[in-house]
Structure 1
Amino acid sequence: MIKDLFIAFFRSGILGFGGGPSAIPLVHREVVITYKWMTDEEFSDVLALANALPGPINTKMAGYIGWRVHGFLGMISALVATVIPTVVLMIVFLTILTTHKDKPWVEGMTNAVVPVVGVLMGILTWDFIVKSKDTLGWKWTVIIVIASLIILELLGIHPAIVIVTLLCVALLSGGKKRKARGEN
């Protein structure tokens, strides 16, 4: 189990070039699809919580998922697997980029990363929207997406505030539904 945690987070760490957002779909694939440690809903909850907290998203997700799957040793394994590829690649890439910073291929490589991250985040977002029809329904999903876009883009509210607000609403409405069904 610890070996699987290390492999899953090492793979997503080494292939997720471009920062945390580019690795999220890779972590999702490892955690939900390959090893089935979580459902899509559980992963989206972890992602929302990790987005609301300060710091790199990969390490927050790795730490929590590792802890949940195999306790303290799982957390350490997932964190080390997440950080090592980044440290090694940063040293290698920064050495190369510093040596060749005036070359056009370096500028082209740097500019090529932005659309790739955008596409990966778009795919992950679309997957969550499609799957939300089973829990929220299309009407509420569309309302939340449009309201979030307005709040984030037009009003300039920080994303953490939107995420925490949505988490509170989900917790409060989930509690009401459980009480209505007679659960505690």
Structure 2
Amino acid sequence: MKTHLNLFIAFFRSGILGFGGGPSAIPLVHKEVVTTFKWMNDDEFSDVLALGNTLPGPINTKMAGYIGYRVAGVTGMINAVLSSIVPSILMMIVLLTTLTTFKDQPWVAGMTKGVIPIVVVMMAVLTWDFLKKSNQGLGWKISISILLISYLLIELLHVHPGIIIAVLLSYALLKPTKKQEMVKGKEGAN
């Protein structure tokens, strides 16, 4: 029961504080899942995020579904998905009924503009963390090369990010790990 309560708390918090949609919720989910409850490590979270980005639909609910299932099975999945969408439903009901009366007020526009820099900083921190992790596995040259090539493909050639992620995941699955290469080298030496 405590696991289900923790799942609800984790995804409710990330759902209610993730103003601006999926990208703003990702660092919050990361904090809850990796730092607070320690259900997975950074590498596993990166894999879940990459896989979630290749699938259609909101990223927060996809990640909630997978993580909830991994932590507590089917009931955990249902719990995590519901707890990640309930805040949005409640906020839409409250805000749409309340803000329609205040929509022309300058403080409403200011509130929206004030959140944008915070989301940018949160995404920059998460990106930096992922770059540091990729440096450990690939090295700076390959990591920066992948980053630049991906950026150019997305921005200049308008390639969908899901295609780039799918290609990189396929490459990662087919490429032998350092451990596999060491085992193969030892077998060849014997």
Normalised-by-shorter TM-score class: over 0.9
Match of 2:187 in 1: none
Deviation track 1:45-86 (CA, whole Å, cap 9, x = no partner) reads 100111111111110000000001110011011111101111
Q: CA deviation at 1:179?
A: 6.0
* In 1, Cα distance between equivalents of 2:131 and 2:181: 27
Provide the identity percentage: 61
* In 1, Cα distance between equivalents of 2:72 and 2:100: 40
C-alpha change, 1:174 and 1:31, in structure 2 (3 Å) is farther
* In 1, Cα distance between equivalents of 2:39 and 2:170: 25
Q: CA deviation at 1:181?
A: 2.4
Q: Is the aligned partner of 1:16 residue 2:18? A: yes
Match of 1:91 in 2: 93
Of 153, 177, 180, which residue of structure 2 is paired with 1:178? 180
Match of 2:164 in 1: 162
The amino acid of 2:111's aligned partner reads: M
TM-score, normalised relative to structure 2: 0.90
* Structure 1, gaps ≥5 residues long: none
Match of 2:144 in 1: 142
The amino acid of 1:40's aligned partner reads: D
* Structure 2, gaps ≥5 residues long: 185-190
* In 2, Cα distance between equivalents of 1:113 and 1:90: 17
Structure exhibiting the larger radius of gyration computed from Cα positions: 2
Output the aligned Cα RMSD.
Answer: 1.6
Q: Is the aligned partner of 1:46 residue 2:48? A: yes
* In 2, Cα distance between equivalents of 1:154 and 1:181: 42
Q: CA deviation at 1:175?
A: 6.3
Q: CA deviation at 1:153?
A: 1.0
TM-score, normalised relative to structure 1: 0.93
In the TM superposition, structure 1's runs of 4+ consecutive aligned residues that sit over 4 Å from their partners are none
Deviation track 1:72-107 (CA, whole Å, cap 9, x = no partner) reads 011011111101111101111122221111111112
Count of matched residue positions in the alignment of Structure 1 and Structure 2? 182
The amino acid of 2:134's aligned partner reads: S
The amino acid of 1:147's aligned partner reads: I
